[in-house]
Copies of this chain bind each other. A is one copy, B any other.
C-alpha cells in the first residue's frame, strides 16, 4: 500500500547467447515489473545491428508478439523504470541506446549517481550535448571520451569516475557487461539457462524463465558475457564498504526472491516474529495491510498466537489514474484499493501490521477504515524502524520534511494515524534478523549514516523542496 511513496527506480535484465533473447527478456521484465511500472524497454542485437523498443507503460501492454519478433539477435537487455525526471518521459526511459565513435551501446541502469551533476557540468563545458536528464547518460559520455581502445577498459574508467549506486547492464555489438557499484547498494544476480548466462535484479526473474540462480554479482565486480563465456573484472575503488540496501529486503523486493543471500519472505516473517516479541499487545486478530504487510503479519500471528485474518481485501484492478467523485467519499483514495470486512473486524481488538510508515496519510486512512468497520481497538505494528532520512542511492523517498518520523515522535504519529497504539521494530532487532552479515547493510534511511557523502548532501537533507 505504499508503492506511491518509496520507489526503487528500476529493474534490469539481460541474457546472452540465446535465440529467444528478446522473448526471455520480456518475461524477465514481467517478473521484475514490481520494480517499475512507468516505462519498459528491450534492446537486442545481432550482427552489429541493434533493435529497440522502449515505451511508457507496463511490460504486457508495451510488447506484442509482433514487436518482440522484430527484436532480433541472440542477446538482449531490458529495463523497467518507475519514476522519471526531466521534461520528456519517453526520452528518459531505458535501455538508453547510443551510437558513438567506436560503436553502439545500450545501457540499463538501476540506482542513482551522486556525482552526476558535477560530471555532467564538466562534460558539457567541453562541448558534450546531453540528450536526457537521466544520470545514467553521464556514463555513456565518459565511455565515449575514454582514450582506451578496449571497451571493457573504457567502461571500467567510466564506472571508476561515477559515484553512487549502480547495478548496470551495458550491451555492445558483441558483449553484455554487467557491473555492481563498489558499495553494492542495489542487487544484481547471475543465472544460467542451458548455455545462456542471464543477469537480473532479482532471482524471481530466473524462476519465471526456468533459469538456475548461480550467485550475486559482487560489489565492484564487472561480469563480461561474450563468446568466450563468462569472465570477470573489478572496478578500481578505494574506501569501499558493503552497503546493501536493507529496504530492498523490508519492502521492495518480491517475497519469492533470494536477495543478498536471504529469501525475502522468510526474512520478513522473521521481522514479524521479532516485532511480536518486542512489541506484544493484547488483541483478537492480526490483520495485514496487503500486500506489503502479509509476511510480517503471519510472523506476528505465529509468534503471538493471535489469529491471522485477511480482513482488508485488495482490488487487483487498480490502475494509475482514477477519476475522483466530487461528492466526498470517506477514505476515497484507500477505498479504491482496499475494503474492510465488517463481520471480521466488528468488536475486535486488531493488530494491524505494515512494513513502514512514510508520510502517515495512508496509514491514517487505513486505521480509520478499520475502525469504521467496527474494530474496537487498532494497534499498528511496523516491521522496520522509523524512517527518518531520505535515500540518495536509488530509492525515490520523499524529502526529509515529508517523512513524518523525521519531525514527529511515535506518540504524535500514533495520534495522527488515530491508532490506539503504535510500535516500530527496533534497529537492533532488524540487525538481529539479518544476523551475522548485518554490517554489510546500509541503514541510512533509519539512522542517517550515509556510506557515500557528497558536497551538497547537507543542503539536500534540509531542503524541503528536494523532491
Which residues on A are within 8 Å of B, measured CB to CB? 20, 23-24, 26-27, 30-31, 33-34, 37, 58-61, 63-65, 68, 98-101, 121, 124-131, 140-141, 144-145, 194, 204, 207-210, 254-256, 258, 263, 265-266, 291, 294-295, 298, 301-302, 307-311, 313, 315-319, 321-323, 325-327, 329-330, 335-336, 339-344
- The reply to whether B295 and A310 contact each other, CB–CB distance below 8 Å, is yes
B residues in contact with A144, CB < 8 Å = 124, 127-129
- The reply to whether B30 and A256 contact each other, CB–CB distance below 8 Å, is no
B residues in contact with A100, CB < 8 Å = 124, 127, 129-130
- The reply to whether A131 and B128 contact each other, CB–CB distance below 8 Å, is no
Q: Can you give 22 A-B contacts (C-beta < 8 A)?
A: A23-B326, A26-B323, A27-B325, A59-B317, A60-B319, A65-B323, A98-B129, A98-B131, A100-B124, A101-B121, A101-B125, A127-B128, A127-B144, A128-B128, A129-B141, A129-B144, A131-B131, A204-B313, A263-B342, A263-B343, A265-B343, A265-B344
B residues in contact with A336, CB < 8 Å = 27, 30, 208
Considering the chains assembled together, what is the distance between the CA atoms of A34 and B316 in angstroms? 8
B residues in contact with A31, CB < 8 Å = 315, 339
Which among B58, B208, B298, B329 is the interface contact of A309 at CB below 8 angstroms? B298
Q: In the complex, given contacts A64-B323, A207-B335, what are 14 additional A-B residue pairs having Cβ atoms less than 8 angstroms apart?
A: A20-B327, A23-B326, A30-B317, A34-B316, A60-B319, A99-B129, A99-B130, A100-B127, A127-B145, A128-B129, A129-B141, A208-B339, A209-B329, A266-B341
Which among B129, B308, B310, B335 is the interface contact of A140 at CB below 8 angstroms? B129
Closest B residue to A339 by beta carbon equals B256
Report the minimal beta-carbon distance from A189 to chain B, rounded to whole angstroms: 15
- The reply to whether B322 and A60 contact each other, CB–CB distance below 8 Å, is yes
Report the minimal beta-carbon distance from A52 to chain B, rounded to whole angstroms: 8
Considering the chains assembled together, what is the distance between the CA atoms of A203 and B325 in angstroms? 19
Which among B291, B298, B301, B335 is the interface contact of A208 at CB below 8 angstroms? B335
B residues in contact with A321, CB < 8 Å = 60
- With A100-B124, A129-B141, A329-B209 as given contacts, are A60 and B265 in contact (CB-CB < 8 Å)? no
Considering the chains assembled together, what is the distance between the CA atoms of A129 and B307 in angstroms? 59
B residues in contact with A60, CB < 8 Å = 317-319, 321-322
Considering the chains assembled together, what is the distance between the CA atoms of A59 and B265 in angstroms? 33
Report the minimal beta-carbon distance from A264 to chain B, rounded to whole angstroms: 8
Report the minimal beta-carbon distance from A97 to chain B, rounded to whole angstroms: 9
Closest B residue to A131 by beta carbon equals B131
Which among B265, B302, B323 is the interface contact of A310 at CB below 8 angstroms? B265
B residues in contact with A258, CB < 8 Å = 343
- With A20-B326, A124-B101, A329-B210 as given contacts, are A307 and B302 in contact (CB-CB < 8 Å)? yes
Closest B residue to A137 by beta carbon equals B129
- With A310-B295, A339-B207 as given contacts, are A323 and B68 in contact (CB-CB < 8 Å)? yes
Of A258, A294, A321, A323, the most chain B CB neighbours within 10 A belong to A323
- The reply to whether A58 and B335 contact each other, CB–CB distance below 8 Å, is no
- The reply to whether A204 and B339 contact each other, CB–CB distance below 8 Å, is yes
Considering the chains assembled together, what is the distance between the CA atoms of A10 and B226 in angstroms? 43
Considering the chains assembled together, what is the distance between the CA atoms of A44 and B259 in angstroms? 48
Considering the chains assembled together, what is the distance between the CA atoms of A157 and B256 in angstroms? 57
Of A101, A121, A342, the most chain B CB neighbours within 10 A belong to A101
Considering the chains assembled together, what is the distance between the CA atoms of A335 and B28 in angstroms? 11
